[in-house]
């Protein structure tokens, strides 16, 4: 029988491992990886509390992001951070639609590269974008 776990009590690496266990395809993998690489939201207690669902079953931890909730909740953050979250959500689920032109204009070089890598992964083209 599974039990709910408070995501704010989990070490960061355990949470990341649990999230990747529950990715259901390339888009979901790309979205989680974008959040991990960006680093901002997974370190926030409010994001973990409001947008992550973590369970433990037979000693194994599983975590998932409620992408609809993540896209709707108004977290205090910069426009760039918000763009990363919306892009990740749109990669993870077809329920979230974003206008790329609107969300990429405020990204710096590092975050633009992260987004390009995530899009390439979601498309199954990992080698398309070279990372430094």
How many degrees, rounded to 5, is the angle at CA 68 between CA 65 and CA 73?
A: 95
Per residue in 87-112, pLDDT (tens digit) is: 999 999 999 999 999 999 989 999 99
Q: How confident is the model at residue 127 (pLDDT cuts 50, 70, 90)?
A: confident
Classify strands 60-65 and 3-5 as parallel, antiparallel or unpaired: unpaired
Q: Report whether pLDDT(131) > 60.
A: no
Q: Helix H segments across 1-132?
A: 12-21, 26-38, 45-51, 67-72, 79-92, 100-104, 109-122
Order of all β-strands in the sheet with 3-5: 3-5, 52-57, 60-65
51 has pLDDT over 60: yes
Residue 26 and residue 67: Cα distance in Å, rounded?
15
* CA pseudo-torsion sign 93, 95, 12, 113: positive
Predicted pLDDT of residue 84: 96
Q: How far apart are CA 123 and CA 65, in angstroms?
A: 20
Residues in the chain: 132
What CA–CA distance (Å, rounded) separates 109 from 125?
20
Tell me the domain boundaries of the chain: 3-65+74-123
pLDDT at 125 over 60: yes
Instruction: Quick: pLDDT tens for 2-23.
Output: 899 999 999 999 999 999 999 8
């Amino acid at each position: 029988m599974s039990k709910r776990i408070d995501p704010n009590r989990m070490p960061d690496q355990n949470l990341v491992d649990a999230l990747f266990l529950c990715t259901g395809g390339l888009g979901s993998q790309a979205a989680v990886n974008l959040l991990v690489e960006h680093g901002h939201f997974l370190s926030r207690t409010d994001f973990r509390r409001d947008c992550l669902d973590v369970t433990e079953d037979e000693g194994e931890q599983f975590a998932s992001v409620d992408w609809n909730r993540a896209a709707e909740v108004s977290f205090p953050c910069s426009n760039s951070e918000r763009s990363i979250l919306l892009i990740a959500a749109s990669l993870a689920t077809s329920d979230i639609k974003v206008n790329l032109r609107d969300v990429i204009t405020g990204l710096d070089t590092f975050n633009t590269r992260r987004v390009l890598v995530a899009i390439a992964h979601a498309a199954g083209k990992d080698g398309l974008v070279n990372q430094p």
